[in-house]
Amino acid sequence: MKKILLILVLFTQGLQAQVAGDWEVLFNGKDLTGWVPKFTFSDLGVNYRNTFRVEDGLLTVSYDQWKDFHGEFGHLFYNHSFFLLHT
């Protein structure tokens, strides 16, 4: 029961922070809006072989459209940088 209460309190605080503008939502749970893929041998922004996906509200990586690998690897970047400001 204590664990459920703690989860509810943390969830409520997170929602309050989002409403107050203290948080920026990075992932909408629907698509890759704001995210930029980059794979070796491919242009920036090309999601090579649909590797990065959103499935059931989760950001996933899938290789089901890959037959083989030839040194390719990829990263997913957010469309702008962040930094921490202490005031």
* Predicted confidence (pLDDT) at residue 4 exceeds the cutoff of 60: no
pLDDT at 24: 83
> In angstroms, rounded to a whole number, what is the distance separating the alpha carbons of residues 76 and 20?
28
**Which stretches of the chain are DSSP H helices?**
2-20
Q: What's the rounded mean pLDDT across residues 52-81?
A: 94
| pLDDT band of 7, cuts 50, 70, 90 | very low
pLDDT at 56: 96
Angle at 51 between CA 47 and CA 52, to 5 degrees: 80
Q: Which residues, at least 6 apart from 53, have a Cβ–Cβ distance to it below 8 Å?
A: 32, 59, 60, 61, 62
